[in-house]
Chain A
């Protein structure tokens, strides 16, 4: 177990996947000490898929051991690399310093976030035209945490649909909360989850006519990992589908800032969405706050359970009971991000990553590799027909010392694909491009 925890202390890694079961467990039982009589949570036993990012980190480490002089370039985990703009970090520093003064000290904040300032700024910056109220905005320490809290609100008796491929936290959290049923090993799918296949064949939007009703529909746009941003028309279909089925969409808009071509940035741009959708978002990929930890969730007042009880009331209860608010320093930073100076600075960084992504797309396209995404998201989704994604991952790592992410890590629909992320220093991206050109 110590070995496993060592991997987790690699600072560049994010662990978003179920954990691999270690075969040495049974030996431990005799060796270490008495067991309690507390049964392990069977839901956690169901997380039997390989733990994606730990495995990637492990392979990267192994690779470094094999080639100690190799300059490994990480285009795997979507971790931001560029410094936070000065005015934002200055705001956080000033806020921190003020905590040493009588006037500037703050204790517990509102669990929902600083209403007068940050919630208001979020509502005004992102939702002005769609009239989301500040009271509907809940500031958090990030989307991964919000997803778990939302599922806690919803409980184990709801059914869930997720895109295939998708960000692994949706399905993993669903398994943990007990919604997913058993894993069908042969197909790599949980039996109670409805997988919405998204691929080039259907323009990365699921065929809703062939889709069963579920209570909850996770939908991420711009999409991680495919990079596809759903069109207005596609989202209208989704909202209509949800309305007809009485379902709740959990819309992940973490990459909205990367939209280039006019696709909707918020689900609430779609009429009728307020009664069927929750939206989650994050400062992580927008402001480089992956370590600072800040995000938000919008729960409209009109969103009601079948009894008529407002979802927002239950979400608020969870926030007050299972959470204690995002760090006040992070919130000060968030506020600075949303000032006009801050927005300008942050968008420069977003543009930087977008340029990185363009370079990668151009490189791969010039090599005759079919690529998707990359226009509205910092991810390139490259197709290697007929090949297993882990094999391609391994080949790229071995021959070019570049870490990517095998598509099957995001679900069976990701097989044959590789996700390459556009986060990195420009020199690394250019060097990576050169190496890929040499390989392919």
Chain B
């Protein structure tokens, strides 16, 4: 499926959303004249095909070496591609998606009314608004501060509204630049590592270890309770930490986070704390890193409306950068982030922000909790299923992900087996890093009927 005329040394599989890389068949506009254009031979293979380069015009711009380090497409488009290929092969199969963590349940009406109301308002004189503040509309920033960070000393001015956590991660990376070192949990959400590679913070990919050079991978396993042994972790400038965790579902305890904050303080590091699943917590674990004393001097927190309000398509999230967080020369990190937000971004959609505000109204927040409750019930069903089949099952209690162990097996093989035999899409653990090998992530987003059916099929396969 590659478009590339390739004679480069690394064979790149550029995966993306399934239908993207369709074969190209160049037509010629009669207005195009003197310069010869290459008529490309259509290829539709997974491996790059060599081309006649002397015909194809090439610019003299060198490709960014950092992108050359990426081993494959981003994980989730690859899952989507495999799902699409499977559906082509089995057109009558009822494929159930428990792979990509995509929300499925409708957004509560109290919230969609606000979205609609703002849309209408834009066609009135009084209601029209143009450019908004890049940091977000004040009422929303205030609502986020008071809803999630009450009594934690985080104010409206510390909140930066965005179009989502994935975008914020890259903007944070742009702030940090290419000369910082970073640590991630292993396994972890792929955007942290991928964005680090893209920024040039890493070395080459080491095939034997399945790791990028210069990244500190903090192994999180069943044996260590999915919290790294910090005594074995080298100092890095930046530490990405996600809790409740995607993909393992583990929620760090207050004690663990206190150790993490101390570790960051001792090393002068910055924690980027991803709390996108905080509202899924069932027990007493901290929902925000700022519940830990001293965290404001070492941590940034990023979060999202995606998995709370079903805003995966609507696009809304936020990042908190405390005033107390300073670079080594005393310069406040928030100032640089603000500069990036003003230069490389132009604010989240005003309509989405109106929806976000409605989410945080008393009625909206209640409705949001109901939807979360629904997905948590899904998770319970999946956990119970795999438990009953005798699997070692992790997560699922504080996150909408179930982390199922398949000892000694390649996770891509298990993924393929499950897909082929049950027509259920999951996510192979190794897609999240070498520490995910031997695990499958099953996500609990789905219509109840589909989740029940999927579990039925799992029971049939693994009985």
Which residue numbers of A lie inside 8 Å of B, CB to CB?
A: 1-2, 4-6, 8-19, 22, 25-26, 28-29, 32-44, 47, 51, 77, 79-86, 88-90, 92-94, 96-97, 99-102, 104-112, 115, 129-131, 133, 135, 141-142, 144-145, 147-148, 152-158, 169, 172-173, 176-178, 215-216, 242-243, 245-248, 269, 271-272, 274-276, 288, 290-293, 301-310, 312-314, 316-318, 320-330, 333
The secondary-structure label for the interface of chain B is: loop
B164-178 Cβ-contact flags toward A at 8 Å (1 or 0): 101101100011111
Some 16 contacts from A to B, beta carbons below 8 A apart, are A33-B324, A41-B176, A100-B106, A106-B313, A246-B59, A272-B34, A276-B59, A288-B128, A291-B130, A291-B349, A292-B122, A293-B347, A303-B59, A308-B56, A318-B67, A329-B351
Which residue numbers of B lie inside 8 Å of A, CB to CB?
A: 2-8, 12, 14, 16-17, 19-22, 24, 26-27, 29, 31-35, 37-38, 40, 51, 53, 56-67, 70, 73-74, 76-77, 100, 102-109, 111-113, 115-117, 119-125, 127-135, 137-138, 157, 163-164, 166-167, 169-170, 174-180, 190-191, 194-195, 198-200, 237-238, 264-265, 267-270, 296-298, 310, 312-315, 323-332, 334-336, 338-340, 342-352, 355, 445
Please name 20 further chain A to chain B contacts, defined as beta carbons within 8 Å, in addition to the given A19-B339, A271-B34, A321-B195, sorted by A numbering. Answer: A4-B335, A34-B297, A35-B330, A38-B270, A39-B327, A86-B123, A92-B119, A100-B108, A107-B313, A148-B174, A152-B198, A155-B64, A272-B32, A293-B346, A304-B5, A306-B63, A317-B73, A322-B170, A324-B164, A329-B119
Do B64 and A275 touch (CB < 8 A)? no
Residue of B40, B100, B178, B445 with most chain A CB atoms under a 10 A cut-off: B178
Chain A nearest Cβ from B28, distance in angstroms: 8
Do A308 and B58 touch (CB < 8 A)? yes
Contact (A141, B119) CB under 8 Å given A152-B174, A272-B35, A305-B62: no
Contact (A313, B345) CB under 8 Å given A35-B327, A40-B329, A81-B130: no
Do B332 and A18 touch (CB < 8 A)? no
Chain A nearest Cβ from B277, distance in angstroms: 16
Do B312 and A107 touch (CB < 8 A)? yes
Q: Report the separation of the CA atoms of residues A37 and B176 in the bound assembly, to the nearest whole angstrom.
A: 12
Do A8 and B135 touch (CB < 8 A)? yes
Contact (A135, B344) CB under 8 Å given A109-B313, A320-B74: no
Question: Which of B74, B267, B355 touches A317 (beta carbons < 8 Å)?
Answer: B74
The secondary-structure label for the interface of chain A is: loop
**A-chain residues with CB within 8 Å of residue B66 when the two chains form the complex:** 155
Do B8 and A320 touch (CB < 8 A)? no
Question: Which B residue's beta carbon lies closest to that of A89?
Answer: B123
Question: Which B residue's beta carbon lies closest to that of A91?
Answer: B119
Q: Report the separation of the CA atoms of residues A142 and B174 in the bound assembly, to the nearest whole angstrom.
A: 18
**B-chain residues with CB within 8 Å of residue A15 when the two chains form the complex:** 134, 342-343
Do B123 and A84 touch (CB < 8 A)? yes
Do B314 and A327 touch (CB < 8 A)? yes
Q: Report the separation of the CA atoms of residues A36 and B334 in the bound assembly, to the nearest whole angstrom.
A: 13
Do B349 and A39 touch (CB < 8 A)? no
Do A314 and B64 touch (CB < 8 A)? yes
